[in-house]
Amino acid sequence: MQITRLNSFIDIDDWVETRTSTGGVVRTPAVFAEGVPAEILPVSGREFFEASQQQSEVTTKITIRYLPGVKAKMRARCDDSIFNIAAVMKDRTRRGWMLLYCSEGVNAG
């Protein structure tokens, strides 16, 4: 991976659960990391119908430098796009890179 390919910047959010006064649970995003250099590559896409509405989903691979604590179920944001992180693969040899496999367009949270 060449450093010049990290041509985008993403923010990574984790989810925080809080209880309401009625005992319900509300999940809200909390910033985990900001301005992380990244390479964002669409891998595949599809359109489907769910609940009588047309939906679309793009599977995306995001490459970042190793960042401890990043895990599946988090989300990444870049401009107006939100990427739900489904899987995280770490470079176990040098701890140099991480691959984030994400879905975009369908809320996986």
Pair of tokens at residue 87: 């899987």
Domains of the chain listed by start with CATH number = 3-18+26-104 (2.40.10.370)
Q: Give the confidence band of 108 by pLDDT, cuts at 50, 70, 90.
A: very low
Taking only the tens place, the pLDDT of each residue in 37-93 is: 999 988 876 655 555 665 556 689 999 998 999 999 999 999 889 999 999 998 766
Q: Give the confidence band of 94 by pLDDT, cuts at 50, 70, 90.
A: low
**Whole-structure pTM over 0.85, yes or no?**
no
Please give, one letter per residue, the 3-state secondary structure of the chain: CCHHHCCEEEEEEEEEEEECCCCCEEEEEEEEEEEEEEEEEEEEEEEEEECCEEEEEEEEEEEEECCCCCCCCCEEEECCEEEEEEEEEECCCCCCEEEEEEEECCCCC
CA 96/CA 72 separation, integer angstroms: 18
CA 79/CA 11 separation, integer angstroms: 9
